[in-house]
Amino acid sequence: MAKKILKITGIVIAAAFIIIQFIPVNRDNPPVVNNVNWDSPETKAMFYRACADCHSNETKWPWYSYITPVSWRVADHVKDGRKHFNISASDMGESHEAGEEVEKGYMPLSDYLIMHSEAKLTPEEKSKFIAGLNKTFPPKERRGKKEQTGESEHEKGEY
């Protein structure tokens, strides 16, 4: 009896896994309509190593982004990433926070680093990258409201 239940459960799980593969996932790369004025080719190269998959329309969709339910998580990160900051869009969004996000270690997302070892920056690369980002995407005045309120969104450790 227990064996039979186990077998049926296995079949149901396998069937569900197969069925969810047919749910469409948006993996679009819309046209690039913006040209970034990079301060240096190194900054651009590091951005493409560590950030562009989620913050441009030039996403390289990895093989696992074709396997549901992992695909949902990947597509969600890209969608959300582009919504906040997209170098391919005429309005780049929160680009002025790029240097700060790297400096504070919020970006790239830790999830991403598990599958993308090339996105790991050495401490030396990181400090050059931060300087490059701050030149390319100048930060707004830092003593704004955000600093005082302590910017809680990230600290929940959700990403």
**Residue 147 identity (one-letter amino acid):** E
- Residues 23 and 68: beta-carbon distance below 8 Å: yes
Give the nearest residue (CB) to ligand HEC: 51
C-alpha 59/C-alpha 125 separation (Å) is 22
Q: Which stretch binds ligand HEC (CB under 6 A): 6-14, 19-27, 56-64, 108-116?
A: 108-116
Task: Report, in Å, the least distance between residue 111 CB and ligand HEC.
Answer: 6
Is residue 130 part of the contact set for ligand HEC (CB under 6 A)? no
Can you tell me which of 43, 59, 75, 81 binds ligand HEC, judged by CB under 6 A? 81
C-alpha 153/C-alpha 135 separation (Å) is 25
Q: Which stretch binds ligand HEC (CB under 6 A): 7-15, 16-24, 28-36, 53-61?
A: 53-61
* Sequential DSSP letters for 64-105: GGGSTTHHHHHHHHHHHHHHHB-TTSSS-BSGGGHHHHHHTT
Name residues whose C-beta falls within 8 Å of residue 104's C-beta, 6 or more positions apart in sequence: 154
Q: Which stretch binds ligand HEC (CB under 6 A): 1-9, 11-19, 23-31, 76-84?
A: 76-84
- Taking the least distance from each CB to ligand HEC, the nearer of 55 and 57 is 55
Q: Which stretch binds ligand HEC (CB under 6 A): 5-13, 28-36, 50-58, 62-70?
A: 50-58
- Residues 113 and 119: beta-carbon distance below 8 Å: yes
User: Which residues would be at the binding site for ligand HEC (CB under 6 A)?
Assistant: 50-51, 53-55, 77, 80-81, 84-85, 94, 97-98, 101-102, 107-109, 112, 154, 159
